[in-house]
Structure 1
Amino acid sequence: MADNHDSTTENRRVLLPDAPVLVLGGDGGYWLTPDGEVAKTSVQQTAARVVDAPPLLIHRLNYARRLGINPFPAFDLLELYAFAFPARHCLPTARGLARALNLSPPGNPEEQTLLFFEATNSILKFLTGLNGKNRKEASAIAMTMGQAGWNWAPAVLAALGLPESRDRYGGLDAWRALPEWPDYAPEPPPDDIAVSEFEARERLKEMLGDNAESRPQQADFSALASHAFLPRDQADAPNLVLAEAGTGTGKTLGYIAPASIWAEKNGAAVWISTYTKNLQRQIDDELNRLYHDPAEKSEKAVVRKGRENYLCLLNFEEALQGGAAARTEQITLGLIARWISATRDGDMVGGDFPSWLLELEGRSRITRLADRRGECIYSACPHYRKCFIEKSGRKARKADIVIANHALVMINGATRPDDPFLPRRYVFDEGHHLFDAADSAFSAHLTGQETAELRRWVAGNDTGRKSRMRGLENRIGDLIGDDEAGAEALQKAIRAARKLPSDGWLARVRDGAPNGPMEEFLALIRTQVLARCKQPDSPYSIECAIGEVIPRLPEAADRLNKALGALSTPMATLGKVLITRLDEEAEDLDSTTRFRIEAAVQGISRRVSLNIAPWRSMLKDIEEPTPDGFVDWFAIDRLAGRDMDLGFYRSYIDPTKPFADVILKPAHGVVVTSATLRDNYEETESWQSADMRTGAHHMVLPPLRAHLASPFDFAAQTRIVVVTDVRRDHMKEVSAAYRELFLASGGGALGLFTAIWRLRAVHENIKAPLAAAGFDLYAQHQDALDTSTLVDIFREEENSILLGTDAVRDGVDVPGRSLRLLVFDRIPWPRPDIKHKARKKAFGGSKYDDKLTRLKLKQAYGRLLRRENDFGVFVMLDSMLPSRLASAFPPEVEIHRVGLKEAIALTRNFIAEKEQVLRKISLD
């Protein structure tokens, strides 16, 4: 806390704000005045009262959302906590704040109001103890934030004391104190020394420790995974292991064991890839078992994400420039400056940047500080040697374990096939998502947003606003130098790019006033979609097959193809000019200039080969049948009734083919694992779905396949119920069923939905009665909280209730009592869009639908049991569940088809019985 004492300490004091405390429950607001009076108001009364005087609360934006009003001024404890404890985890709830501050967790809303005063006092008291450099930096930032209107500033400055001095950045120049990344000699090529089954088992024992429970399946899994860490025998034929590891197997530590040994033996990293950022964090937490020393872990384990996830220091510096003109944003920038000084790796999305702060301060305000548009100028940047992105990349080259995600792995493989730093050993966790991840990575979208983005990347921002988005000329003009061919190509590329959509393109297209060949093409696509889709007024995205295109569309496609050719040719020339310079000036180029040139060539090549070339191919085919292996369509993307984008889309029918070509074949060893790789409907075909969804069927040699059964007793620990008398399309009935089942379980319940509108309808109907019964209800698409934060809250609050869609169904680990009931609104059949119809035709018709649906049900059911003593009830509110889908569940678990009354009683009795057993065990 205090690094040294100075004479100003005694002049500091805790100054509590003169503000009422507000806790918002589902049934209204609970108020505590500074005089100690407690009062309760209805939701409507609360909404009127909050605007009279700023209250003391937690997460004002979420309060505003729940009250149905615009954000209002408040003393938000989350802002105070983020200032005092940057980069330190805290759940954005009363109990989460209490745990973070080591205070007694509150119970009812009245107790929570008292906690808020106690928490405020605790945080401010901590700030009074800051001394030396920490105090000077914090007080300078607090003064700047106060001058911008931060209402916590008087209390914070009273605790810290006034700043002694501030420079032109008002103390927000946190980058000055960051260390530079060191230079290392190039890494030698890795060795290829095998890992044995015995070594994998022994490393697993070391990580688990002497007192760990015996889990033979986990040890067997670890031994199995070691086969991916043997030298391969044939080019384009990696040692591929497909391992379905049942719930509770402990697969994460199981594959970390052989992966870590191989990395240590061979001097190269193993990349562990998963589907979501939330799962990356879970794997990172598990690595604490391998690396007990945080300093060692920092060197040997690195979390890698796309560039758009990391803070760009140059963007941050430029956001500060302008002084008084930027006053409205200086509160947000002050909190970010505090975080910069404490962050592990600069990861703003899923790292140690508080996810609730993204929503609290405005997600777009914060995420625009990342490198979201490929505008990096690399070594020309004054912050290059302190750059979080560069530091992460360099650490990954020297690390043993790199935790990535499927999207990053595939993009890296597709754009950098000759990069010597690409890994050759992978573990793909949540392998059942590889098909969908590959679908996103290898599809082509010729849309307004994509082409407008390309225009900005090449030609820069021509709106006149101060911005670093000045295009290729700014980024590589000095690299071209006096080369006349290069300078001419650059100007041609800029002129060609300016024919692509500029700001305001969507409104012009919608209003029938397109400007340029791309906007004219989009206007005609919009006409065809609206004319041929079934529901043109739908608030959701709409689409149509290409078929016989409307008049004038072929001519517009031809003009656009020529315009893209006029851009592609000079960009390719630019790439050749830069490559030539690398060759001809090899002796004279310093390493930073060489790296800038290589990065520029990679960026140009990526956009020519992965964007423009596929787009031109699509345009040439517009009057021809879609090429074999692909599916094409036109679509208008909508969000809540608003058009967001539109264009021409192409996907592989089987996207695991490019995945196999780009990632699997160049690799030497790959583990693909999940609890839901196989479809168990027909035993003779059980691995067929695994091969198809992972790309294994494209390999020369067959994979090593194995299923490791879960150690859990599903028949004893779970119940499966299909409710037969609730009409699934009558939302009042569905809502009543959710409400009564949640009450029967006493919370600890997850409600899953197949559509956002159904979730919202149920949420609206059940929030008041559940609040009156004392339950906290959280929901995706309703609360101003991101999914990972909602899941974290649900995990910590044992009796809370969470409503969500696919993102909380897949791969989320919620052990213990926090999840004892899972209710599904209806059978999660695939959405019958054009892309799915093409795949359904190619992959077996209705059997393909059944297969996908069984895998979704299997994944959802698997959420219930994560630890030995877990238990739970799975309820399907769709009486139409056919028996052929039942193989999604363990065969030993009986499926009870009963009415709602019996389902409620079964849920209540089963959970009560299991909790009684657990209480008895704890007493013994």
Structure 2
Amino acid sequence: MTALPYPALHASHGGVWIAEGGRTRPIGRGEAIRIAADTPLILLNAPLVGQRLGHPELSGLDILELFAFLFPARFMVPTPKGLAAATGLTLPDGDDAVAAFLSEAAAALLGAAERDWPEREGAWHAAQSLARARWSWAPIVTQAIARPEKPERWLYSMLPEWDEQAPRPAPRTIGLDPGDVQQRLKTLTGKGAETRDGQRAFAAAATHAFVPRDVRDMPNMVLAEAGTGIGKTLGYLAPASLWAEKADGAVWVSTYTKALQRQLAHESERLFPDAAIRKARVVTRKGRENYACLLNLEDALQGGFAGRAAILAQLVARWAAYTADGDMVGGDLPGWLPTLFRRNGSTALTDRRGECIYAGCPHYRKCFIERAARASAAADIVIANHALVMVNAARGREATTRPTRYVFDEGHHLFDAADAMFSVALTGQEAIEIRRWIVGPEGGGRGRRRGLAARLSDVASYDEQGAAAIEQAIDAARALPSDGWLQRVAEGDPFGPVEALLGAVRGLVYARDTKGAGDAGYGLETELAEPDGALVEAAGPAGASIDAVLRPLVALGRRLEAVLTDAPDWMDGPARARIEGAIASLSWRADTVGAWLALIARIGGPADADFVDWLAVDRIEGREYDIGLHRHWIDPTRPFADTVLKSAHGVVVTSATLKSGGDWDVARARSGASHLIRAPSEFEAASPFDYANHSEVLIVTDVKRGDLPALANAYGRLIVAADGGTLGLFTAIRRLRGVHARIADRLAREGLPLLAQHVDPIDTGTLVDIFRDDPRASLIGTDALRDGVDVPGRSLRLVVMEGVPWPKPSVLHAARRLAGGGKDYDDRIVRARLAQAFGRLIRRADDKGAFVLLSAAMPSRLLTAFPPGVTVSRVTLDEAIERVRALSIPAAIGHGAAQETA
């Protein structure tokens, strides 16, 4: 292992050190920046180091990039501890020893390049390409990797092709024997496993969803609230896997978070221990925008990207050759890799714009998305997410393979997922996206963007009416907002009727603003009620302009259907698949544009009692980034029930907080069950964990609301008292950043790392991985951490919330509050959020911890959000700190009976 001739730099909140010439010394931030400008430095996570030095554009020899090149599709926690585990080296004792350790670790990683390793194939070719892209590591890597004796395969030649299969027949109509279900559960839990009565009862209840349906549009639906620790995953997999096996059908298990998708994939090893069988029988599905697009990647590799983005493309290409499924978001692409390149290109490597040309793509037979779709058609268990399930149902995708059985885990999020899916937004950003999708690249822009004419060129040459519709759509789309629209609207000089409408929206929103022009908030909005003359006058021309876009899109869709019917001579199987894909894409866009027309018709017209309509100017720290009109369902579970539930034969909806701290009426309303004729069956099982003796709730009464220094002081002292292991939850990003700025350096001097969502240039999933890996680290963040963190053990022993998580006042919330019972509606939301946050604390039977709420205004009526028996005490900050400090003393946690100390 040869030492590298470069210095190594390490920066933390506790200081900066440089290792060179066999010695390590502390240096100032200014000196570090000057050295980095002149000398290649070995770093670990350059964006994070740059942020700590106050120089975000810092670059160097980032060890994470080297790891991603050498070991694609492998994950490493991006910390010194994670690097030590990956290299087999000894973890340095303190920050002052990390810089020297980085040099040693880099040399150890490069040692792999001097011999064969599992990912050797394609490495030499990629190294040459990276050298041309001026990658910092390239001179070293190209010397370390010997040229292969025979030409090596690379990416596209390494990827397997998927095979076309006959359509799967409809599932057989079968019933399940309760005894067989319990035996399957026993097999899944394993020999010698503890018998859990709650899990057995859950499995029995879930079985009802797998009996034959006897009435159309009336699925056998089970609502099941199962507390943490019941083992509900195996509880529903037992009847689901047995039904899939006997009926020869697929069960779709839908989640809300990527963390649960990964957990389900892991649990599937119990179903199918053999990896090859498991790959065929259990498939993870996500939306198209999650998967690497091989055509976009090819364009990036052939000059579509430049600078740092070109380096990212080469590293993603290395990963694509070894990935299990091509999932760039939550799959085996390390979440930290795109963040090393900031916003330089990662999203352009997926199909986020609906521009797929399907069978017209030269890589169609190797496409990750198509492979996943075909694999799921033949699978027993498909692990999906709520959004994909709703998209497939609402847009008619994969109609011939639509599942008849669903399990919705994390079911308390169905309302939110449906709200996002079935909403409409006519905004500048949405309109410019439609324009680009239709027109294609304008003004000599780089990249692979293709408009309708390019995507359907052969159809246009064959069908005159289709060609005419394409031209009409392009001409009409040119009246939609284009680049620079936001500045033109702000300056009162809009181009075209839609920009004029957005200008009228902006004017009315500011006119009715109640926050004050000087407020640098994060958005302004007002109801779409009593519109002024300018808005009404702008609505007519804007509607006509949008209608001119819609008509040729609808006509083109009909012509494409006619082309399929006529089946011209050149229409082979791949061409048919491409036309079918184009029809689906056109239908999606036409539905969107049609919904815009309905929204515009609302201006000056009567309100629809089923919807909430409003106008908004979206801002970040006072800077405008979008303007538009919005429409949401008052109850989005209604279209969810119509498109998903009624077509299903059996549905399980489960969660630890399904009733949101209320009753079964709440669960039925939030899951869509209230829109079904047949009432669902209901099951409830409390958590087996001893919350009373393993946890307590502390409500701090002397931290004044709105006092940021006091809030930061409270967080800092509590984290020190707990010796780290703290999850801090905020309701506002501004306060999160303010607290972080005040306590990060202070905690570093105590040897307590502080991770922060919206501050650290690291994706949320990686932040959680780092937090889980270091028992002395703490993590602060917002809503995404309240329900998406699963950190059992000592790494999470304290949860701190800045205050009562009241819903944010908005036009949408006000309308739903009015329809949902006023104050009771708010209370249900808060109870659910408190229950979800508390649920992060105790993840297994031996966990212990405290939940601290920094709000004297916590109403007693909301305390039912916490498990029965948990002690709730109203205390001063000093007393809370003493209680937290005693976390390691079992007697200090819990006092038996439930009580609230006034």
Same fold, judged at TM 0.5 (above) = yes
In structure 2, the partner of 1:633 is 614
Cα contact 1:439–1:651 (8 A) shared by 2 = yes
Cα contact 2:122–2:154 (8 A) shared by 1 = no
Deviates more, 1:271-280 or 1:426-435: 271-280
Residues 592 and 216 of structure 1: CA distance in aligned 2, closer, same or farther (over 3 Å): same
Unaligned runs of 5+ in 2: 895-902
In structure 1, the partner of 2:487 is 507
In structure 1, the partner of 2:899 is none
Cα contact 2:694–2:893 (8 A) shared by 1 = no
SS at structure 1 position matched to 2:122? helix
Counterparts of 2:180 and 2:447, CA distance in 1: 54
Counterparts of 1:787 and 1:838, CA distance in 2: 32
SS at structure 2 position matched to 1:802? strand
Counterparts of 1:137 and 1:915, CA distance in 2: 58
In structure 1, the partner of 2:717 is 740
Residue 719 of structure 1 and its aligned partner are, at CA, apart by 0.9
SS at structure 2 position matched to 1:761? helix
Counterparts of 2:420 and 2:388, CA distance in 1: 11
TM-superposition CA deviations, 1:882-913 (whole Å, max 9, x none): 00100001231121111111111111113333
Counterparts of 2:178 and 2:91, CA distance in 1: 46
Residues 679 and 304 of structure 1: CA distance in aligned 2, closer, same or farther (over 3 Å): closer
Q: How does 1:425-436 map to 2 (within 5 A)?
A: 425-436=405-416
In structure 2, the partner of 1:361 is 341
RMSD after superposition: 2.1
Residue 40 of structure 1 and its aligned partner are, at CA, apart by 1.9
In structure 2, the partner of 1:11 is none
User: What's the TM-score, normalizing by structure 1?
Assistant: 0.93
Residues 232 and 134 of structure 1: CA distance in aligned 2, closer, same or farther (over 3 Å): closer
In structure 2, the partner of 1:548 is 530
In structure 2, the partner of 1:566 is 548
| Alignment of 1:246 onto 2:218 | no
| Alignment of 1:23 onto 2:7 | no
Cα contact 1:238–1:668 (8 A) shared by 2 = yes
Residues 134 and 629 of structure 1: CA distance in aligned 2, closer, same or farther (over 3 Å): closer
**Equivalent residue letter for 1:736:** N
Residue 184 of structure 1 and its aligned partner are, at CA, apart by 1.4
| Alignment of 1:700 onto 2:677 | yes
In structure 1, the partner of 2:116 is 130
Residue 586 of structure 1 and its aligned partner are, at CA, apart by 8.6
| Alignment of 1:809 onto 2:809 | no
| Alignment of 1:112 onto 2:92 | no
Counterparts of 2:570 and 2:383, CA distance in 1: 37
1:159 to 131, 144, 150: 144
In structure 2, the partner of 1:38 is 24
In structure 2, the partner of 1:380 is 360
SS at structure 1 position matched to 2:400? coil
1:775 to 732, 736, 752: 752
Residue 105 of structure 1 and its aligned partner are, at CA, apart by 3.5
1:857 to 809, 834, 858: 834
Counterparts of 1:39 and 1:336, CA distance in 2: 36
In structure 2, the partner of 1:602 is 584
**Equivalent residue letter for 2:104:** E
Residue 214 of structure 1 and its aligned partner are, at CA, apart by 2.8
Counterparts of 1:566 and 1:530, CA distance in 2: 30
**Equivalent residue letter for 1:369:** L
Counterparts of 1:101 and 1:710, CA distance in 2: 40
**Equivalent residue letter for 1:26:** H
Cα contact 1:679–1:687 (8 A) shared by 2 = no
In structure 2, the partner of 1:142 is 127
Counterparts of 1:379 and 1:679, CA distance in 2: 46
Deviates more, 1:633-642 or 1:233-242: 633-642
In structure 1, the partner of 2:200 is 219
Unaligned runs of 5+ in 1: 1-13, 918-924
Cα contact 1:320–1:326 (8 A) shared by 2 = no
**Equivalent residue letter for 1:69:** H
Deviates more, 1:691-700 or 1:154-163: 154-163
Counterparts of 2:893 and 2:500, CA distance in 1: 68
Cα contact 1:196–1:223 (8 A) shared by 2 = no
In structure 2, the partner of 1:60 is 46
Cα contact 1:417–1:662 (8 A) shared by 2 = no
**Equivalent residue letter for 2:785:** V
Residue 48 of structure 1 and its aligned partner are, at CA, apart by 4.8
Corresponding residue pairs, total: 892
Cα contact 1:524–1:553 (8 A) shared by 2 = yes
Cα contact 1:17–1:155 (8 A) shared by 2 = no
Counterparts of 2:62 and 2:884, CA distance in 1: 39
**Equivalent residue letter for 2:274:** D
Residue 49 of structure 1 and its aligned partner are, at CA, apart by 4.4
Deviates more, 1:213-222 or 1:779-788: 213-222
| Alignment of 1:913 onto 2:890 | yes
| Alignment of 1:787 onto 2:768 | no
1:98 to 84, 89, 92: 84
TM-superposition CA deviations, 1:285-313 (whole Å, max 9, x none): 22222222222222111111111111111
Cα contact 2:301–2:314 (8 A) shared by 1 = no
Residues 29 and 195 of structure 1: CA distance in aligned 2, closer, same or farther (over 3 Å): farther
Residue 563 of structure 1 and its aligned partner are, at CA, apart by 1.4
In structure 2, the partner of 1:296 is 277
SS at structure 2 position matched to 1:391? helix
Residue 238 of structure 1 and its aligned partner are, at CA, apart by 0.6
Residues 483 and 628 of structure 1: CA distance in aligned 2, closer, same or farther (over 3 Å): same
SS at structure 1 position matched to 2:626? strand
In structure 1, the partner of 2:444 is 464
Q: How does 1:747-762 map to 2 (within 5 A)?
A: 747-762=724-739
Cα contact 2:411–2:658 (8 A) shared by 1 = yes
TM-superposition CA deviations, 1:244-285 (whole Å, max 9, x none): 010111212221222112212222211111112233222222
SS at structure 2 position matched to 1:671? strand
TM-superposition CA deviations, 1:89-124 (whole Å, max 9, x none): 111111112223333334421343343233222211
In structure 2, the partner of 1:264 is 245
| Alignment of 1:691 onto 2:671 | no
| Alignment of 1:577 onto 2:564 | no
Residue 502 of structure 1 and its aligned partner are, at CA, apart by 1.4
| Alignment of 1:533 onto 2:513 | yes
Counterparts of 1:68 and 1:186, CA distance in 2: 58
**Equivalent residue letter for 1:345:** D
Residues 735 and 315 of structure 1: CA distance in aligned 2, closer, same or farther (over 3 Å): same
TM-superposition CA deviations, 1:465-500 (whole Å, max 9, x none): 243322111112312443222221221111111111
**Equivalent residue letter for 1:267:** D
Residue 162 of structure 1 and its aligned partner are, at CA, apart by 4.5
Counterparts of 2:881 and 2:308, CA distance in 1: 52
**Equivalent residue letter for 1:544:** T
TM-superposition CA deviations, 1:405-432 (whole Å, max 9, x none): 1111111111007811121111111111
Deviates more, 1:833-842 or 1:210-219: 210-219
Counterparts of 1:160 and 1:910, CA distance in 2: 52
Residue 47 of structure 1 and its aligned partner are, at CA, apart by 4.4
Deviates more, 1:180-189 or 1:233-242: 180-189
SS at structure 2 position matched to 1:423? coil
Counterparts of 2:861 and 2:893, CA distance in 1: 35
Cα contact 1:239–1:703 (8 A) shared by 2 = yes
| Alignment of 1:195 onto 2:182 | no
SS at structure 1 position matched to 2:289? helix
Counterparts of 2:265 and 2:344, CA distance in 1: 27
**Equivalent residue letter for 1:115:** F
SS at structure 1 position matched to 2:401? coil
Residues 821 and 134 of structure 1: CA distance in aligned 2, closer, same or farther (over 3 Å): closer
Q: How does 1:491-506 map to 2 (within 5 A)?
A: 491-506=471-486
Q: How does 1:251-400 map to 2 (within 5 A)?
A: 251-322=232-303, 326=306, 329-400=309-380
**Equivalent residue letter for 1:869:** D
User: What's the TM-score, normalizing by structure 2?
Assistant: 0.96
Residue 21 of structure 1 and its aligned partner are, at CA, apart by 2.0
In structure 1, the partner of 2:898 is none
1:204 to 163, 178, 185: 185
Cα contact 1:480–1:578 (8 A) shared by 2 = no
Residue 558 of structure 1 and its aligned partner are, at CA, apart by 0.9
Counterparts of 2:120 and 2:710, CA distance in 1: 58
| Alignment of 1:719 onto 2:705 | no
